[in-house]
């Protein structure tokens, strides 16, 4: 019989909590370590459709990337979105575990999955951002097998991530060979990418003045969106959990969630 604590132990091996940023809130956020687990749903975000699926399909545990509880709660009102979700989870007896920045930084985590998906040579991958070891960092830096024109690389990122569009910032005429990346929201590392000699930087949530700064630094930027740069890890994580738990529980990956942003 698998308990919630067994899944927690596996997740600690996959994404050690020590790798989480100080401001983060990973770990078991709803439920008890002693809860019995027969079915696990892996997802990016815990939203109403995920909770409804967990209830309807008898999942006892959700493993998510984004924490459902991020800042301190002062009230739990079920007429408001957060309280409604938490109330539904508690009533259904569904546990929620989150691996956030620790999964970003972990070897084989969100950023390694993104690097592989957009076509970087994985033999060239090195840490980027806050470095705890040779393989653990909030982002990655690597190389393309062959240099590309910047807009062709942006098109490649778009196609590999399966999105309708990406936002592109031109850093001039330089070809793209060396690429920095940080999944989700990583505009804070634009200067670091330029300092490390990157030709292009892939991330999400880039603001106007971030783009202005990148252009001035001569750095191409591809903003592929928060969702698209992180969602690929969901299927990979589900596969790793299946292997680690050796068929003792049934694990499903959420492939139905969509980006909140649409192009009109």
Tell whether 24 is covered by a domain.
yes
Nearest residue to 137 via CA among 196, 177, 96: 196
At residue 117, the pLDDT reads 98
Same domain, 85 and 130: no
Reported as type and span, the H/E element at residue 217 is helix 208-217
pLDDT (tens digit, 9 = 90+) per residue, 13-37? 999 999 999 999 999 999 999 999 9
Same domain, 83 and 142: no
Q: Is the pLDDT of residue 64 over 80?
A: yes
Rounded to an integer, the average pLDDT of 228-252 is 95
Same domain, 83 and 144: no
Contact between 44 and 114 under an 8 Å Cβ cutoff? The reply is no
Paired tokens of 91: 């009533």
CA distance 229 to 236: 13
Tell whether 237 is covered by a domain.
no
Q: Is the pLDDT of residue 119 over 60?
A: yes
Which of 85, 103, 121 lies at the terminal end of a domain, its last residue? Answer: 103
pLDDT (tens digit, 9 = 90+) per residue, 89-114? 999 999 999 999 999 999 999 999 99
CA quadruple 61, 255, 14, 83: dihedral positive or negative? negative
Which of 229, 244, 259 lies at the terminal end of a domain, its last residue? Answer: 229
Rounded to an integer, the average pLDDT of 220-245 is 97
Tell whether 75 is covered by a domain.
yes
Paired tokens of 12: 């600690």
Strand stretches in 150-227, DSSP E:
167-169, 176-181, 200-203, 220-223
Q: How confident is the model at residue 129 (pLDDT cuts 50, 70, 90)?
A: low
Q: Is the pLDDT of residue 133 over 60?
A: no
Calculate what percentage of the chain has a pLDDT beyond 90. Answer: 89
Which of 103, 126, 151 lies at the terminal end of a domain, its last residue? Answer: 103
Structural domain span for residue 40: 4-103
Our measurement of the distance from residue 99's CA atom to the centroid of its chain's CA atoms, rounded to an integer in Å, reads: 9
Paired tokens of 109: 């985590």
Which letter does DSSP use for residue 45 in this model?
-
Same domain, 119 and 167: yes
Rounded to an integer, the average pLDDT of 163-186 is 97
What is the rounded average pLDDT for all residues in the chain? 94
CB atoms within 10 A of CB 17: 13
Give the C-alpha distances (Å, rounded to integers) separating 187 from 59, 67, 232. Answer: 36, 21, 20
At residue 219, the pLDDT reads 98
């Amino acid at each position: 019989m698998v308990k919630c604590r067994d899944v927690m132990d596996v997740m600690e091996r996959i994404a050690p909590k020590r790798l989480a940023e100080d401001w983060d809130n990973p770990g078991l956020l709803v439920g008890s370590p002693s809860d019995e687990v027969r079915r696990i749903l892996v997802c990016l975000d815990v939203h109403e459709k995920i909770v409804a699926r967990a209830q309807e399909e008898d999942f006892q545990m959700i493993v998510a990337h984004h924490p459902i509880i991020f800042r301190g709660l002062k009230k739990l009102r079920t007429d408001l979105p957060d309280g409604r979700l938490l109330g539904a989870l508690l009533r259904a007896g569904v546990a929620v575990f989150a691996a956030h920045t620790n999964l970003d930084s972990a070897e084989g985590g969100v950023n390694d999955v993104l690097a592989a998906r957009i076509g970087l040579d994985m033999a060239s991958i090195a840490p980027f951002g806050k470095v705890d070891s040779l393989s653990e960092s909030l982002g990655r830096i690597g190389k393309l097998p062959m240099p590309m024109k910047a807009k062709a690389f942006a098109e490649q990122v778009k196609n590999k991530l399966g999105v309708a569009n990406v936002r592109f910032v031109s850093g001039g005429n330089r070809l793209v060979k060396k690429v920095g990346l940080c999944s989700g929201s990583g505009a804070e590392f634009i200067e670091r990418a330029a300092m490390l000699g990157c030709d292009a930087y892939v991330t999400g949530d880039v603001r106007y003045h971030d783009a202005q700064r990148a252009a001035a630094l001569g750095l191409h930027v591809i903003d592929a969106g928060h969702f698209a740069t992180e969602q690929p890890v969901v299927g990979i994580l589900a596969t790793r959990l299946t292997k680690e738990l050796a068929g003792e529980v049934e694990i499903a990956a959420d492939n139905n969630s969509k980006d909140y942003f649409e192009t009109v």
